Amino acid sequence: MNSLAPAVRARHLVKTYPRDVRALDSLDIEVAPGTVFGLLGPNGAGKSTTVKILTTLARPDSGSAEVAGHDVLRRPERVRRAIGVVAQKSGADPTATGRENLRLQGRLHGLSGAALDQRVDELLDRFTLTDAARRTVKGYSGGMRRRLDVALGLVHRPEVLFLDEPTTGLDPEARTAMWDEIARLAGDEGLTILLTTHYLEEADRLAERIAIVDRGRVVVTGTPDALKGELRGDAVHLELSEPLGEAGRTLLDGALGAVPGVSEAHHVGGRRITVRADDGAAAVPLLLGTLERVGVAVASATVARPSLDDVYLRYAGRRYAEAEADTAVTGQPALAGGAR
């Protein structure tokens, strides 16, 4: 594989599930070799569907993708040899021990004899599972199980590793341990990692580049710092005492537009407004004065440096937590626009 060619390239991927669920709506991504790429999005955004297509487990309705230089539709067997996959749901056999799981996986990839023994020992050691190696997986903690999943994905030394939500469901301590593990893996020579997550913090911390996915398409891509840097100034979050109606919002938007150094007011639900300000601390008294003049009572005002959540709000038009809540109720992405 040409070292300059992307390790993963997806173009215009479209995937529709029965009942007209458009899981992917022309999704494009490109991952440079040897880097960690984060696919960040709320529940139902299309992350797992993307991973399934890139790992040859599903076919797109249209569009194309190459992984490690091989076309996923024309050369699926070559793609499979080049990749490791850690699915969102654990693939380990709970009734077998950690060591048995690894040995089986190794044999599936053609390892045997001393090479297999050595690789299994190496991975048990690396993922601090040596002491648990003889216990059946059903007795493992969530963190141990997830570490075993990652070890299983690495048995055959893949070029590209897919991690679909590696830390979802882990307690904070196990999550931090997994982050350290992934960061270490990223240092492995040549390994490219595509991870999906719905934790803003996880993408920020691990990925060199991220693509924010919403409703089956990439809404923005870049380094976490560049994305945050695009947002000038501070975010001021205002919580209102009473929800605002449509007329109140229009009135308020007009008034906010006249406050010096303030731009981009987003309404989130009826009671929260996020405003971008060149200087948040200086803007707060002006904002409070303005709201008071138009008769809107404020419960709280907080100033924050731009976060990935602000980036998401800007590009997806709703707060990240809102998008998560939308899909938590229906199990599907909301079709109507959110909170603008």
**What is the rounded CA–CA span in Å between residue 71 and residue 52?**
14
d(CA 94, CA 92): 6
Residue 38 engages ligand ATP in binding (rule: CB under 6 A)? no
Residue 101 or 196 having the CB closest to ligand ATP? 196
Under 8 Å between Cβ of 53 and 61: no
Give the tokens for residue 234.
């501070």
Which residue of 33, 38, 41, 84 would you call a contact of ligand ATP, by CB under 6 A?
Answer: 41
Extended strands (E) in the chain:
8-17, 21-31, 36-40, 62-67, 70-71, 83-86, 160-164, 192-197, 209-214, 217-222, 234-240, 262-268, 272-277, 298-304
Residue 23 sits in the site that holds ligand ATP (CB under 6 A): yes
Q: Which residues from 97-126 bind ligand ATP, rule CB under 6 A?
A: none
Number of residues that bind ligand ATP (CB under 6 A): 17
280 binds, among Mg ion, ligand ATP, none (CB under 5 to 8 A by kind): none
44-103 residues in contact with Mg ion (CB under 5 A) are 47-48, 88
* Binding characters for ligand ATP, 45-74, by CB under 6 A (x = yes): xxxxx-------------------------
- Strand 272-277 relative to strand 192-197: parallel, antiparallel, unpaired? unpaired
The binding track of 196-235 with respect to ligand ATP, each residue x by CB under 6 A or -, is: --x-------------------------------------
Each residue of 172-211: b (16+ CB within 10 Å) or e? eebbebbbebbeebbeeeebbbbbbbbbbebbbbbbbbbb
Binding-site member from 309, 332, 334, 339 for ligand ATP (CB under 6 A)? 332
Which residue lies nearer to ligand ATP by CB, 17 or 190?
A: 17
Q: Output the CA–CA distances (angstroms, integers) from residue 230 to 206, 266, 306, 311, 313, in the order listed.
A: 20, 17, 9, 8, 13
Give which of Mg ion, ligand ATP, none residue 130 binds (C-beta under 5 to 8 Å, depending on kind): none
Fill in the DSSP letter of residue 136.
B
Partner interacting with residue 198 (select from ligand ATP, Mg ion, none; CB below 5-8 Å by kind)? ligand ATP
137 binds, among Mg ion, ligand ATP, none (CB under 5 to 8 A by kind): none
Q: Which stretch binds ligand ATP (CB under 6 A): 36-44, 131-139, 235-243, 275-283?
A: 36-44
The least CB distance from residue 195 to Mg ion, in Å, is 12
CB-CB contact of 64 with 12 (8 Å): yes
Burial profile 302-317: b = 16 or more Cβ within 10 angstroms, e = fewer: ebeebbbbbbbbbebb
Check residue 16 for interaction with ligand ATP (CB under 6 A): no
Q: Name residue, tokens 């040409």.
A: 2
Which residues form the interface with Mg ion (CB under 5 A)?
47-48, 88
Which residues form the interface with ligand ATP (CB under 6 A)?
17-18, 21, 23, 41, 43-49, 88, 198, 331-333
